[in-house]
């Protein structure tokens, strides 16, 4: 059993997740930031339903980037169109949590 803390800014909400219980919700990859957000009633846009077809679940990783799954080429290609893109940007539907992370949900 591995329990991780995920903090969503600017809400300043931290949730604990057990990776043995993935998936938690029904959108995005199991254990993704989107999966965790939805299971904990945290609003994270996801117009495409979490299928890596848009950028509405774009987040900026503030801490723990090494605790997320590696970015795949399809996510990298899609992120190129995200508003407010940074070198720490990820799609919430694709970034699977494997340790403690802090992410910002841009406005």
Residue 87 has pLDDT above 80, yes or no: yes
Place 107 in a pLDDT band, splitting at 50, 70 and 90. confident
pLDDT at 1: 62
Question: Tokens in use for 88?
Answer: 């720490």
Domains and CATH numbers, the chain: 3-104 (3.10.20.30)
Residues in contact with 82: Cβ distance below 8 Å, sequence separation at least 6, in sequence order: 55, 58, 89, 91
Compute the residue count for the chain.
107
């Amino acid at each position: 059993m591995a329990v991780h803390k995920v903090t969503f800014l600017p809400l300043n909400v931290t949730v604990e997740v057990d990776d043995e219980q993935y998936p938690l919700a029904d959108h995005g990859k199991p254990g993704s930031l989107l999966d965790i957000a939805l299971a904990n009633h945290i609003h994270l846009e996801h117009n495409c339903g979490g299928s890596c077809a848009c950028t509405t679940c774009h987040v900026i990783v503030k801490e723990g980037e090494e605790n997320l799954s590696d970015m795949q080429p399809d996510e990298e290609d899609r992120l190129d169109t995200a508003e407010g893109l940074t070198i720490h940007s990820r799609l919430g539907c694709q970034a699977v949590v494997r340790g403690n992370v802090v992410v910002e949900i841009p406005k």
